[in-house]
Amino acid sequence: MKPSAAHRFSRPRAEDAPAIHELVAACDLAVIGVPDATVDDIADELAEPGFDLDADGWLVHDVGGTLVGWAWACAKGDSDMIDIEVLVRPGVEGLEGLEGELWRLVLDRAGELALARGHDAATVDIGIYRADTGKQELAKAYGFTPGTSFHRMRIDHEGPVEPPAPIPGLTLHSGETDAVRRQAHQVQQEAFADHFGFVKVDYEHWLERRQAQSVTDWSQLAVARIDGRPAALVVGNNQFVPDEDCGYVATLAVLPEHRGKGLGRFLLQHAFAADAARGRRATLLHVDSNNTTPALDLYLSAGMRPVLVIDVWRRLIRPGQAS
């Protein structure tokens, strides 16, 4: 089935963020019962460094001007890994052909992005809520298979949280200076090198991406040094403040040689105490269920509980193969 001629395709612009957010919220409500993004989240996606508004995204409006489709493909640095998304407005008849066209467009674009970066194939990932069985079946139909699963974890704060007990030789350093940020980048790159979806990036790209995000607060980044040397890292941000009044641990990383010494638990409890001191209702984070470290066990033992699961589906695409 081909999309109706009444559907108008266009490229996204920064000013489209509110309309895109309304569509994304409608899709979230239909699947998980609540919106899971803010307008600022969408604006940050549109401002993502390396995302080409003129080539990597598609908006689709119906004859009445309502946004009924949104799709994009975004390369991860210079790697062969490409993230995609395809959304159509729920509860509207006759959009099956449109949805198929958007899938074709993003998969073709994924192949082009990989080719432009010197790769003969694209490793394409799409995140799908565990509850969205319909989209899972669609991903299967397009040749995707399960890659991994991310659990959203939460711990509620009903008052002040006691900071962790000091660890001998450990000092914490805030991310408000360039020197500490460079150490944070170094720790993150080394600690996550074996994780699903990891892409090595240089410091300038790492910094540019965070500077472009409205949720970034460098005071919520802390590098832990042991006897003066970087050993671990925690990065918090404000992603879940506007809609849930919750803190968010975006990154928790411990260098391999320092694992098993309590640094991860120390930094986690540090983040809990900091969020509670800011008056946040809770702290959230995401953890890969196939993490190469026992991170999920750490979060569970620290009192966190899973509240949402997002599965990542993956397919290898060669240029032109999607069509």
Do residue 196 and residue 91 come from a single domain?
no
CATH code, domain carrying 111: 3.40.630.30
Tell me if 296 is assigned to some domain: no
3-state secondary structure of 165: coil
C-alpha–C-alpha distance, residues 52 and 77, integer Å: 13
Q: In the chain, pLDDT over 70 holds for what percent of residues?
A: 97
Do residue 205 and residue 241 come from a single domain?
yes
Tell me if 109 is assigned to some domain: yes
3-state secondary structure of 3: coil
pLDDT on residue 289: 86
Q: Give just the sign of the alpha carbon dihedral 19, 23, 25, 26.
A: positive
**pLDDT tens by residue, 39-83:** 999 999 999 999 999 999 999 999 999 999 999 999 999 999 999
Q: Please tell me the pTM assigned to this model.
A: 0.94
**pLDDT tens by residue, 224-240:** 999 999 999 999 999 99
Do residue 62 and residue 90 come from a single domain?
yes
3-state secondary structure of 182: helix
Do residue 131 and residue 176 come from a single domain?
no
Do residue 134 and residue 178 come from a single domain?
no
User: Which residue range is the domain that position 260 belongs to?
Assistant: 158-280
pLDDT on residue 277: 97
C-alpha–C-alpha distance, residues 207 and 183, integer Å: 12
Residues of the chain with confidence (pLDDT) below 50: 1
